[in-house]
Amino acid sequence: MSRMQGEFNCCQRVRSVRLVCRQTTSSALKGAIQLGIGYTVGNLSSKPERDVLMQDFYVVESIFFPSEGSNLTPAHHYPDFRFKTYAPVAFRYFRELFGIRPDDYLYSLCNEPLIELSNPGASGSIFYLTRDDEFILKTVMHKEAEFLQKLLPGYYMNLNQNPRTLLPKFFGLYCVQSGGKNIRIVVMNNVLPRIVRMHLKFDLKGSTCKRRASKKEREKSKPTFKDLDFMQDVQDGLLLDVDTYNALVKTLQRDCLVLESFKIMDYSLLLGVHNLDQAEREQQMEGSQSSSDEKRPAAQRALYSTAMESIQGGAACGGSIDTEDTMGGIPAVSGKGERLLLFIGIIDILQSYRLIKKLEHTWKALVHDGDTVSVHRPNFYADRFFRFMSSTILRLQVIKSNFEEEKKTMLSELLDSTQF
């Protein structure tokens, strides 16, 4: 396959995802998702809990929702559709592992209309957010859904060994079939809560080849910047105290090893930066009302979904930041000394190193430096990703102790006295 053919096929797949989703109106799709999840989760909760068996990862349950209703399903005003649930027992275990009870899951996903988000990437996916900020729903291509199904047993084992991770937390995989079309949806944790104002947002891969936000992206009210933008605009990196840095780096290192073992690549670190000092200045200008409004919903967020809870070791927050005001973010400091909160998660992991990626890397390596391109071998990609995040993005905050200052003063006085 030539590079041109590969890119054409990729573009066709992206356009196909967009077209299928648009042909099924947004309100009908959201309604079908909520009806389907409401039925399947409610039905599963009535069954006794048990250990997850190997065959549970391959179970697909299907239920038909005619618009006039049936003995099992309610009447609705959407077109007839079939709703499929993948590995329901396995995903129930994942939800329980992160403290999500069935009634909480149903309340978040089905109690109020889902919010459609503008597409932050070029994947062609449609994103929905629950009103309480807890969950992101993303439409995925057939190959991505298929890959997630194959990934589930290993994912299960990894979560059992280490629930503290920056990897995506998958809570459900579903498919809506309507009008001869299949729309697959995955439910995940929400990395960037809407209730917290993100002053900066980055999609980072550890690559420098064409990794700069486009002019069109920069013109957005809330742009997503890339690796070269970070290196240019945040040259000092994000400074963390020793405990927090070690905890975050340890988690990143372990997650990279897991991704490498599954031969996954082309993932990104989604990074949101909330500047506490800038937020205080903004609140003084806008009035104090927004401050109290912001903190109330933030306290309701479940701990399993926060960045701080996802890192290893239970790192303590920096002394200058009240732990009640971190809103689940990881405390950091800018090169200018401004107090920051970081919201971090690894995203887009449903890419395995298939032939098309090998061909894409080979072509790009001929044109550019092979070590700088985004698409690469899984082991090289993981190593480069980790080194970039742990040295360029995240850095140790050097704090001069009083003892060091006193020692310098004494040395200076001693030198002055010897001059006479």
CATH of the domain at 361: 3.30.810.10
What is the reported pLDDT for 204? 94
Looking at the predicted structure, is the pLDDT value of residue 250 above 50? yes
**Separation of alpha carbons 235 and 271, rounded Å:** 16
What is the reported pLDDT for 150? 92
Which of 144, 168, 189 terminates a domain? The answer is 189
**Separation of alpha carbons 164 and 387, rounded Å:** 21
User: Same domain for 353 and 244?
Assistant: yes
Count other Cβ atoms within 10 Å, centred on residue 220.
Answer: 12
User: Same domain for 248 and 285?
Assistant: yes
> pLDDT tens, 129-145?
999 989 999 999 999 99
Q: Does the residue 167 lie in any domain?
A: yes
**Separation of alpha carbons 227 and 392, rounded Å:** 10
Tell me whether residue 250 is exposed, middle or buried, using C-beta atoms within 10 angstroms of its C-beta: 0 to 12, 13 to 18, 19 or more.
middle
User: Same domain for 17 and 101?
Assistant: yes
DSSP bridge pairs for 120: none
For 62, the domain range is 3-189
Q: What is the mean pLDDT of residues 225-229?
A: 92
Q: Which two tokens stand for residue 379?
A: 């082991």
Q: Does the residue 97 lie in any domain?
A: yes
In which band, very low, low, confident or very high, does the pLDDT at 325 lie, cut at 50, 70 and 90?
low
User: Same domain for 179 and 37?
Assistant: yes
Q: Does the residue 416 lie in any domain?
A: no
What is the reported pLDDT for 80? 92
In which band, very low, low, confident or very high, does the pLDDT at 7 lie, cut at 50, 70 and 90?
very low
Q: What is the mean pLDDT of residues 334-354?
A: 87
User: Same domain for 278 and 151?
Assistant: no
Which of 168, 189, 210 terminates a domain? The answer is 189
Name the most confidently modeled range: 52-56, 205-209, 363-367, 395-399.
52-56
Q: Which residue has the tokens 């090289």?
A: 380
User: Same domain for 225 and 372?
Assistant: yes
DSSP, collapsed to helix, strand or coil, labels residue 130 as coil
What is the reported pLDDT for 311? 76
Q: Does the residue 56 lie in any domain?
A: yes
Q: Does the residue 130 lie in any domain?
A: yes
**Separation of alpha carbons 176 and 83, rounded Å:** 5
Looking at the predicted structure, is the pLDDT value of residue 374 above 80? no
User: Same domain for 271 and 365?
Assistant: yes
Report the CATH number that the domain containing residue 79 is assigned in CATH.
3.30.800.10
- Say how far residue 364 (Cα) sits from the centre of its chain: 27
Which of 409, 399, 343 is CA-nearest to residue 192?
Answer: 343
* DSSP state letter for 115: E
Which of 189, 216, 231 terminates a domain? The answer is 189
User: Same domain for 179 and 204?
Assistant: no
What is the reported pLDDT for 400? 62
**387 vs 50, 184, 252, CA distance in Å?**
41, 34, 10
Ordered DSSP codes for 62-81: EEEE-TT--SSS---SSPPE
What is the reported pLDDT for 187? 96
User: Same domain for 151 and 250?
Assistant: no
Low-confidence winner among 230-234, 388-392, 397-401 (lowest mean pLDDT): 397-401
Q: Does the residue 311 lie in any domain?
A: yes
Q: Does the residue 410 lie in any domain?
A: no
User: Same domain for 272 and 166?
Assistant: no
User: Same domain for 237 and 343?
Assistant: yes
> pLDDT tens, 273-296?
999 998 888 888 877 554 444 444
User: Same domain for 319 and 382?
Assistant: yes
What is the reported pLDDT for 119? 59
> pLDDT tens, 9-57?
544 554 454 544 554 578 889 999 999 999 999 889 888 888 899 999 9
Tell me phi and psi for residue 351, to 5 degrees: -120, 110
- Beta strand 394-396 with 238-240: parallel, antiparallel or unpaired? parallel
> pLDDT tens, 173-197?
999 999 889 999 999 999 998 889 9
Q: How many domains would you assign to the chain?
A: 2
